């Protein structure tokens, strides 16, 4: 990582307390729009608890099934040979 990026991150992090206090102020302000209050609340929750995981949907391209197959290979690597019998390789 370049020195400039490291310096910018350091400078930004030095304002963390002020930024969080600003978000809390917007969230609590009756003068702020509803959208601004919700946005501030979401930002606070994301920083405090992390963003919620996104659900995976099984699309017609079989992406979810591929993920499950990869998980099985990681958890049970010895079963890979048995699973591939009669199957074609994923390209």
Whether the pLDDT of residue 63 is over 80: the answer is no
Based on the structure, what is the number of domains in the chain? 2
Using pLDDT thresholds of 50, 70 and 90, give the confidence band for residue 31: very high
Using pLDDT thresholds of 50, 70 and 90, give the confidence band for residue 91: very low
Containing structural domain, residue 10 = 3-49
| 9 and 37 part of one domain | yes
| 33 and 62 part of one domain | no
Predicted local distance difference test score (pLDDT) of residue 85: 54
| Overall pTM surpassing 0.95 (yes/no) | no
Predicted local distance difference test score (pLDDT) of residue 82: 56
Higher-confidence position of 51 and 37? 37
| 35 and 59 part of one domain | no
Within 1-91, residue ranges assigned H as helices are: 3-13, 16-28, 34-49, 63-75, 80-84
């Amino acid at each position: 990582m370049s020195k400039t990026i490291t310096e910018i991150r350091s400078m930004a992090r030095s304002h963390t307390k002020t930024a969080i206090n600003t978000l809390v102020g917007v969230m609590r302000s009756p003068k702020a729009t509803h959208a601004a209050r919700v946005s501030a609340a979401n930002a606070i929750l994301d920083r405090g608890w992390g963003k919620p995981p996104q659900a995976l949907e099984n699309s017609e391209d079989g992406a979810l099934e591929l993920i499950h197959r990869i998980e099985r290979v990681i958890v049970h690597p010895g079963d890979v040979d048995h699973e591939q019998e009669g199957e074609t390789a994923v390209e």
